[in-house]
Amino acid sequence: MGPWRRELVRSMRRPMRRRRPVWTGPGPALKIPPALVTLAVALVVAGSIIALLENRLRPVVAEIAAARAQNTMTAVVEHAITAGLAAREVSYADFVTIQRDESGAITALTTDMAKMNLLRSELTAAILEALEEADVSAIQVPLGSLFDLEPLWAKGPALKTRAITVGTVRAEFESQLTSAGVNQTLHRIWMEVEAPITLLLPGGEVETSLHTQLCVAETVIVGRVPDTYLQLDGVKS
């Protein structure tokens, strides 16, 4: 065995020395910039103020937004009904027939429910189409209106909300008879419309609805209308 091999074997047989751990002590303290601390405190305070304002003002915002949505969408519905009646040239005689005996006394008031149901279906479709096309997606509530101060009412930047109709529109006919003078009766046929509305407000949804009614047809009936004939088939009174 050569000298270099013997030296290699001796070096391999020598025990390895373990290094003692060196205690460096605790590291330097982490320094947080004062600006970062100020920013964090400001964010916490701002979040608390926003949460407080939201809890107190949300009911007011919901009430004002609901009223504005109802007014806007009611106008759309009434315009759709009025336009539909004008296009069809609807008249009282199209739906109600007044039957008299030989002396001229009224014996019956009969309704053509087939025509009334057709009209209701057509007007309901027109209402749905008008609501889909109308620009009612953004209902604005001025921030000044949230405070009970007259100088601030309807002023300031606007808070935008979305209003959408959910479900189906309900439309029903209602009959109304009122006195129009001596031996005269005013007979009106109303269409009542109801539709649910969902308001998408910051932080959640608010449910409301619209309700309106328009006169579809009317006439003045000359002669006494017996109480037994005030109820028309299929029409509320």
* In the chain, where the domains are located: 53-229
The dihedral built from the CA positions of residue 141, 147, 148 and 150, taken in this order, carries a sign that is negative
pTM over 0.85: no
Q: Exposure string (b/e) for 83-120, b if CB count within 10 Å is 16 or more?
A: ebbeeeebebeebbebeeeeeeebeebebbeeebeebb
pLDDT tens sequence across 18-42: 556 555 555 555 567 777 778 777 7
Cα–Cα distance, 201 to 61 (Å, whole number): 8
User: Could you tell me where the DSSP H helices lie in 89-112?
Assistant: none
Task: From residue 166, give the alpha-carbon distance in Å to each of 49, 78, 191, 206.
Answer: 34, 19, 21, 12
pLDDT at 12 over 70: no
